[in-house]
Every structure is written in structure tokens, then in C-alpha cells.
Amino acid sequence: MIEMDKVRVVFFQRKPRHAGNFSIEFIFEDVRSRLPAHIESRVAISRFLSDGILKRTYNIIEAFFRQGDVNHVTGDVNFLAILLNSNKTVLTIHDCFLMTVKTGLSKLLFKKLFLDWPVKKVTCITAVSEATKSDIIKFTGCPADKITVIPSIISEDYRPHPKDFNKEKPVLLAIGTAANKNLLRLIEAVKDLRCHLSIVGKISEAQTEALVKNKVAYSNAFSISDEEMREKYHQCDMLAFPS
């Protein structure tokens, strides 16, 4: 049997915010657990949060000195690819959401840092959906054949779990409370329905006010374990995903 040479893959990840980042991190933790034995993986977490030019510049320079045989920028910190070896770097882009909400100079800077420069620099880009691929092409003019669509992995921990549907007051599970999770619109949508909204993620004052104003029955949990998250899926009757 021929033993394959070790390949060192560095997964570049964002520094988690105080409120918690878990979606991208959870996905790639699962990816690493499935890698073949000859791939030696390492996680490189940026020293600073993705805030402002100076902190992002530091993170870009730091990433340059942490490269491996293959570099994988896992998302939400696309700019880390700017100084990496273009032929050894994979960039995963999850969405282009902020291009739809930012304006003026902020939008221009975001476009350069998160899309134009990193997209032009790397040889290989993966997008999590055809919609994201279309957005990348629309905003950057990137050739379509440079982008491969690879849907986010689904952990084997999440499997079908049959339960009787609660017709009287079904539980709707909503995960995530950041702006792109669209919780305020979801609250507006269910305000006249007989249901219970189970929200995972720290809710803001504005979201709490909207829940009370619209008389939506709800419960809230955050900073929960993976086991508790799986239980939330088991307990709910429907998953609401207006992200």
C-alpha cells in the first residue's frame, strides 16, 4: 500500500463575536471530522474581530504568515485571501447580503474588501448556493467557471425525528437573531397565527418590543449546547427559515 504524503490545510476563520458565531464554524468543524487521514488540518482564527480597516489589515497580514499547503478561507472574512498564495487558496462565500443593505462609501469599501479583491486574487471559489454564485457574478463580474457550488454540509447528528404535529399551537423554530435572519419580518408574518415562536439567539430590545406589540407567544434561548440545539429541532413542529 502506498502511503500518501501529508497535506497541511489551514482553515481561516473569523474571531467570534461576544453574542456568538456558530454557523460557519459548526459547518467546517464537521467538514474536518470527515477528512481523509493524509490531510492534516489546522484552524487559524483571526486575532481581531472583523471591524474597521486597521483590525482587518492586521488580520490580513497575520493570515499571510499562517499559510499551509492549502488555505481555505471559510467565509465572512473573505478579505483574508488578499495576501494568500492564489494558487493554494480556496475561498468560500456564503452570501452577498451586505451589498443589499450598505450604501455610499461603506458599500464601496465592503465591495472591495469582501468581494472584488479576494475574488480576483484566488483561483478557486466555492459558493453555498446557485443564488450566491449568481450574486458573486453580478457584483464582481467573476467568470462563472471559477465558482463551484457546494451546498453547506449537514451534520450526521441531525436526522429525521418523527413527532405528532401540534395542531392546536404548533411550535415554530427560528434560529439566529442577526439582521440577515429576518426575525422582525417573521414576527410580523405570524402575528395573527395561533403558534409559539421558539427563538434561538439573543434577542434585541427592538425584537422584544415587536414580539410584545404583535402579541406573539415566544420563548428564547441562547448560548446553548449542540445537544440542546438538536433537542430544539426535535421539539418543534416547523422550522421557520426566512434568512
Strand pairing category for 70-73 and 89-93: parallel
Considering the chain, what percentage of its residues have pLDDT values greater than 90? 80
Q: Which residue has the higher pLDDT, 174 or 180?
A: 174
Which pLDDT does position 238 carry in this prediction?
95
Read off the pLDDT of residues 225-241 as tens digits, 9 standing for 90 and up.
Answer: 889 999 999 999 999 98
Which pLDDT does position 58 carry in this prediction?
98
Read off the pLDDT of residues 73-125 as tens digits, 9 standing for 90 and up.
Answer: 999 999 999 999 999 999 999 999 889 889 999 999 999 999 999 999 999 99
Cα separation, 153 vs 196, in Å, equals 29
Cα separation, 194 vs 82, in Å, equals 50
Average pLDDT over residues 51-57: 95
Q: Which amino acid is at 210?
A: A
CA distances from 128 to 75, 148, 220, 242 (A): 10, 9, 28, 16
Per mean pLDDT, which range of 12-26, 67-81, 167-181, 204-218 is the poorest?
Answer: 12-26
Q: Which amino acid is at 147?
A: I
Cα separation, 6 vs 187, in Å, equals 50
Indicate the pLDDT class of residue 23, thresholds 50, 70 and 90.
confident
Which pLDDT does position 160 carry in this prediction?
86
pTM: 0.79
Which pLDDT does position 69 carry in this prediction?
97
Which pLDDT does position 3 carry in this prediction?
60
pLDDT at 19 > cutoff 70: no
* Exposed / middle / buried, residue 31 (Cβ in 10 Å: 0-12, 13-18, 19+): middle
Cα separation, 63 vs 122, in Å, equals 14
Which pLDDT does position 236 carry in this prediction?
96
Average pLDDT over residues 53-76: 97
Q: Which residue has the higher pLDDT, 136 or 18?
A: 136
Which pLDDT does position 20 carry in this prediction?
56
Which pLDDT does position 156 carry in this prediction?
81
What is the gyration radius of the CA atoms in the chain, in angstroms? 20
Indicate the pLDDT class of residue 32, thresholds 50, 70 and 90.
very high
Indicate the pLDDT class of residue 14, thresholds 50, 70 and 90.
very high
**What is the residue-averaged pLDDT of the chain?**
93
Which pLDDT does position 117 carry in this prediction?
98
Beta strands per DSSP E along the chain: 7-13, 39-45, 70-73, 89-93, 124-127, 147-149, 171-175, 196-200, 217-221, 238-240
